[in-house]
Amino acid sequence: MPELPEVETTRRKLLPLLLGRRILEVRHQDPLRYRHTERAEGRRVEGVGRRGKFLLLSLSGGLEMVLHLGMTGGFRLEETPHTRVRFLLEKGVLYFHDPRRFGRIWVVERGDHREIPLLSRLGPEPLSEAFTFPGFLQGLRSARPLKALLLDQTRVAGMGNIYADEALFRARLSPLRPGRSLGEEEAWRLFQAIREVLSEAVALGGSTLSDRAYRQPDGLPGSFQERHAVYGRAGLPCPACGAPIARRVVAGRGTHFCPNCQGESP
């Protein structure tokens, strides 16, 4: 957390607040985590974009502010006990809230991502035309388990733990299966499930979990968590067959699935 739907929701909510406005001052006390932010001062925001889990603010003068929300980061319209950065704008103030301090900010020359190597290696955006079935199918030709492949940002940009679990459930595929074991029809089901799950999650403002860490900039929670079929539901009945949802650790991440609907082995 946050994953593509939460970052995209944040982008959409920030767009009317930032576009065309000048950043007057950026205040924080952590120059190692929030790098070169003084370069943004006096610049006008010319665009608010997203790439994978990164927010990209195009600034006047050919600069770019790159933001990664980390595990608990997000923007607020009011100050909180966990405010880490204050953005003074021409009209109003925007606060970067990050309880666990994993968020990062860089101000760089536009398109110069040498300080952020992952940004240059991201795979296609799964809700864009660049995400094609032939390319996705080729990326599955691996002995790694499906869950690990979906979390690999070089294959699908922006996918994370929640939406990988939900997409695999909709495709009725075990997260433990090697990618190369899938037939073309199974791979197509997964390709479609990824797009469906992410589209629905974006439309519903993302997922706000029990820790309440993620909220939209206006303070509203997401609501896609109400549609979670497997994620965070270990031991509860599968909504399709009633069998208990299982939890395993795959690729170092807690992974939820239905052993009956999805199978536990290839």
- Between CA 165 and CA 176 the distance in angstroms is 11
- 3 state DSSP class of 248: strand
The answer to whether residue 2 is catalytic is: yes
Instruction: List % helix, strand, coil for the chain (3-state, nearest 5).
Output: 30, 25, 45
The residue whose two tokens read 């665009």 is 47
| Residue pair 36/22 in contact by the 8 Å Cβ criterion | no
Of 2, 5, 145, 217, catalytic: 2
Q: Characterize the bridge pairing of strands 63-68 and 74-76.
A: unpaired
| Residue pair 145/250 in contact by the 8 Å Cβ criterion | yes
Of 50, 53, 104, 215, catalytic: 53
Residues sharing a CB contact under 8 Å with residue 54, sequence separation 6 or more, in sequence order: 7, 66, 67, 68, 116, 119
Of 172, 253, 259, 264, catalytic: 253
The answer to whether residue 253 is catalytic is: yes
Burial class (CB in 10 A: 0-12, 13-18, 19+), 161: buried
Known catalytic residues are: 2-3, 53, 253
